[in-house]
Each structure stands twice: as structure tokens, then as C-alpha cells.
């Protein structure tokens, strides 16, 4: 799941970079995309080391992750930045949750996939500058962020239903599925904090 998530994030982010209003901004988002493909390579290599064909392992996650990106195609530069900011935030929160449930070596690798904070800061600074220049864009971006989160959680629930091994990772210490609901609540709460910090409505 993580491998395909990184691969498709590279594809879509590189495409979204073309929405940039100038070459400097296009380069910045392209650098973010480059970080995703590096992460993909590391996860794919770990799968191969474990005797698993990365292409086969990723296949069950192609449909839900592709559908997420199809349903959240940005229309302009600010939407592309918001998607990068929101997507990276939720992905990193989820990765931290997953890492704590893996063996030590895999936990270390997964935690190393957390995104470089300078890219997150770049997206946040660009969005804040746009809000300062034109506060009216705030409502549109707030609605867009809610759509991103809603679609992301919908596809996450879909994966959990279809893949028992994912669900097993997310149950709480007592083995109850209440752990999944609590996880989604934590992800949503962290997202809300980021939106407030950004200056957008939740």
C-alpha cells in the first residue's frame, strides 16, 4: 500500500506541477514529486528483499488509490498545493500509526518515509501568502481540503474492508475494531489542527 501510494503520488504531483504559475514554483512541486519516487524505490526494494514482487504486492491498492486521485484532481495551483499539504500531512500521520505496529526494521524504514518538512513548509507558506493577498480564496480552499479528507478516509475504509491484514494492523490492543475508529478520529483531529494553523476553516 505504501509503495503504490508513493508511486502514484509521484505521477500525480509531477502532473500537478504543470499548474504552477512560473518555473520556480513548478520546480518546487517537481522536487516534492522526486521525493515520492525515492520513497517508492526504498519500499519496493524492501519488498524485493523479502521475496515479494512489488508489482504483485501493489496491485490490490491500485484501484482505491487511483480513484482517490481521480476524484481529487486539482483545478489550479492553489488546489494542487493544498492537496500536497493535506495529503502529505495525513499520509505522515497514518505512516506513524502503521510503523508502531511493525517489526523494528520495518518500523525504522517506514518512519524514514515521513516527508521532508521543508516541502510542507513551502506549500503552507504559498497558501498563506495567497490568503493574505486574497482572503476570499479561503472558503474555496477550505471546501477543497474537506473534500480531500473525506475522499481519503472513504478510500481508507474501503481498503480496510477489502484487506484483512490492514484491518489487523489497526485493531487496538484488546483486538477490538474500535481501534480503527479511534485511528480515524486521530487522523481527523490532526488534520483539523493543520487547517487552523494554515488559516483555513475546518
Interatomic CA distance for residues 46 and 106, integer angstroms: 9
Domain around 180 = 2-198
Lowest mean pLDDT among 96-100, 102-106, 175-179: 175-179
pLDDT at 118: 83
Q: How many residues does the chain have?
A: 202
Interatomic CA distance for residues 198 and 84, integer angstroms: 13
What is the rounded average pLDDT of the residues 29-47? 93
Q: Which of 47-56, 119-128, 154-163 has the highest mean pLDDT?
A: 47-56
Residue 195 class from Cβ within 10 Å (0-12 exposed, 13-18 middle, 19+ buried)? buried
Q: Which position has the higher pLDDT, 195 or 174? A: 195
pLDDT at 178: 56
Lowest mean pLDDT among 79-88, 108-117, 154-163, 185-194: 154-163
State the chain's mean pLDDT as an integer: 87
Residue 119: CB atoms within 10 Å: 17
Interatomic CA distance for residues 77 and 126, integer angstroms: 10
Number of domains in the chain: 1
Whichever domain contains 103, its CATH number is 1.20.1260.10
Look up cell 520556480; give the residue. Answer: 24
Per-residue CA distances from 91 to 49, 163, 175, 176 (Å): 24, 18, 24, 23
pLDDT at 96: 84
pLDDT at 174: 47
Nearest to 40 by CA among 12, 97, 11, 2: 2
pLDDT at 177: 55
Residue 74: CB atoms within 10 Å: 18
pTM: 0.85
Interatomic CA distance for residues 4 and 61, integer angstroms: 7
pLDDT tens for each residue of 63-83:
999 999 999 999 999 999 999
pLDDT at 173: 46
pLDDT at 87: 86
3-state secondary structure of 103: coil
Q: CA quadruple 105, 49, 40, 34: dihedral positive or negative?
A: positive
Amino acid at each position: 500500500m505504501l509503495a503504490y501510494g508513493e508511486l502514484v503520488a509521484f505521477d500525480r504531483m509531477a502532473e500537478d506541477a504543470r499548474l504552477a504559475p512560473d518555473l520556480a514554483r513548478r520546480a518546487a512541486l517537481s522536487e516534492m514529486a522526486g521525493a515520492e519516487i525515492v520513497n517508492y524505490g526504498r519500499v519496493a526494494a524492501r519488498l524485493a528483499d523479502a521475496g515479494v514482487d512489488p508489482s504483485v504486492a501493489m496491485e490490490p491498492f491500485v484501484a482505491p488509490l487511483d480513484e482517490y486521485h481521480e476524484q481529487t484532481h486539482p483545478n489550479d495551483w492553489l488546489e494542487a498545493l493544498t492537496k500536497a499539504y493535506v495529503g502529505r500531512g495525513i499520509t505522515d500521520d497514518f505512516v506513524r500509526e502503521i510503523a508502531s505496529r511493525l517489526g523494528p526494521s520495518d518500523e525504522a524504514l517506514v518512519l524514514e518515509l515521513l516527508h521532508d518538512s521543508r516541502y510542507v513548509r513551502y506549500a503552507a507558506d504559498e497558501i498563506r501568502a495567497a490568503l493574505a493577498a486574497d482572503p476570499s480564496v479561503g472558503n474555496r480552499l477550505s471546501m477543497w481540503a474537506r473534500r480531500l479528507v473525506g475522499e481519503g478516509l472513504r478510500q481508507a475504509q474501503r481498503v480496510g474492508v477489502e484487506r484483512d491484514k490492514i484491518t489487523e494492523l489497526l485493531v487496538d490492543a484488546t483486538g477490538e475494531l474500535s481501534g480503527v475508529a479511534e485511528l480515524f478520529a486521530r487522523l481527523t483531529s490532526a488534520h483539523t489542527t493543520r487547517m487552523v494553523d494554515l488559516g483555513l476553516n475546518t
